[in-house]
Structure 1
């Protein structure tokens, strides 16, 4: 609890609201079009796989009780699910795809935190996994509704966003509770550092999301289809006027 009675997770939400809103807007703008393109969707999965994978591997390397506590349910482990989806969308050789500079920088930052301030890695665990349980679910539902109607794999179920058999609402409650219990043991200085790093989480996320390519191709295809429809309609109207 903070001095004004707020839970630490509430305090973090308030402190990161501005950059979080910017991040949400960027993700929606970037991936709204990619809902109809599997290659672009796969590109988004590719960048976040390396972050989620790093965090899950770091948990095993660090063996920190608080880090372990934050993984409140085995359903949170997503590395294998990412790998399955990437194989499906990008092919068997997806591991050979080069990383964008923004992603390389992100990973280097996480590596430095693991060496110098491993507790701050939990800021990434908290915000990224909570994002997957919240916004990630919304994107998954939109993708099922607006996905590529020409896809040959319409029956495929995305593994990363699939939490079948898990009460997501309860999982988020347990997740927040674990974060608050961890924060209760922090000094005020540690809490401030954690909140500062929380803002950095969204900054770093924005940079890697911005590095995902392919949206221009999707936009071109949509505009091409739209232009074709306009031409057909215009032709019908012109013919009507001539022969009426």
Structure 2
């Protein structure tokens, strides 16, 4: 007796995008308001299905980012693959998530199936204050953790400062992304110990309290050694109250 011929399972492939930036000294994530079912009217990450069987996955991610939020020329890196059964009420949908962390991103412009697009504070998104469609809160959490790790291992933080900056300016970037308050003396020591992270630049600048502060610029290092290991001294809420503002420089919907 012949066995029934094997048939591949019906699986849809999609992309989701975690786009992070600093705004008003807080880490923000890009969200869109869904204009179609399921979850019409709910907030979600920008993303969508591949247009056809011939579209490259990263090309689909860039297309969706342009169509749903009007953003182009953003560096993307793969974050992970999400395929838990039941994550999408339309059937078995596997999503490849991409991450971007960049300064000076403009206000998003919604298009195609997105009713609107906006920047939302990460601490609100990861709490119960903001409801997200599908499993997008989990994906945002993974993206934020990747961003925090990148600040430990790379010189990414300098991209969020002006061309010249103080150690305090740099510390505010770390506090905003890590969601903690850092001891200035320990932070200064770690920054100075990270070879090639920053270099002295120009005359000293007077701070708000009138004290002079030395200016620095980004150094040649891209990977930090030793790394800037995280150490929490206060909650994210306390850090937000304590930190001064940082000025950043620098298809179908699923």
Short-chain TM bin: under 0.3
Q: TM-score, normalised by structure 2?
A: 0.23
Q: Which protein has the bigger helix share? A: 1
Larger RCO of the pair (alpha carbons < 8 Å, separation 6+): 1
Q: TM-score, normalised by structure 1?
A: 0.24
